[in-house]
């Protein structure tokens, strides 16, 4: 009877350890995703503003230049953040 209780206790401890490891890994992945998303949005907004400014000062279509700037800013920032 004592052996059965010991086995049950060991299984519970193993399950708890596994659950803790899964929680840590999922939290780390979530943190990385949040950081990358935040950086991409910030880069896209910065690129949008710079693209609008360039389009305005060079007398080009500001909407297209803003869109191109946003795409370049978002992609560049995401690539830089993922390398870290």
- Quick one: residue 61, left, alpha or beta (phi over 0 = left, psi -120 to 50 = alpha)? beta
Going 24 to 28 to 34 to 38, the CA torsion angle's sign is: positive
Please tell me the predicted confidence (pLDDT) of residue 1. 52
Q: How large is the angle between the packed helices 62-83 and 2-57, nearest 10 degrees?
A: 150
Going 84 to 78 to 75 to 72, the CA torsion angle's sign is: negative
In the chain, domain spans: 2-83
Going 63 to 64 to 67 to 68, the CA torsion angle's sign is: negative
pLDDT in tens, 8-46: 545 555 566 666 666 666 777 777 778 888 888 899 999
Could you tell me which residue, 5 or 62, shows the higher pLDDT? 62
């Amino acid at each position: 009877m004592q052996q059965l209780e010991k086995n049950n206790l060991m299984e519970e401890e193993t399950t708890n350890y596994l659950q803790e490891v899964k929680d840590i890994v999922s939290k780390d992945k979530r943190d990385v995703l949040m950081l990358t998303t935040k950086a991409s949005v910030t880069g896209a907004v910065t690129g949008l503003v710079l693209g609008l400014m360039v389009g305005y000062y060079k007398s080009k279509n500001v909407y297209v230049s803003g869109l191109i700037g946003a795409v370049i800013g978002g992609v560049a920032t995401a690539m830089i953040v993922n390398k870290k």
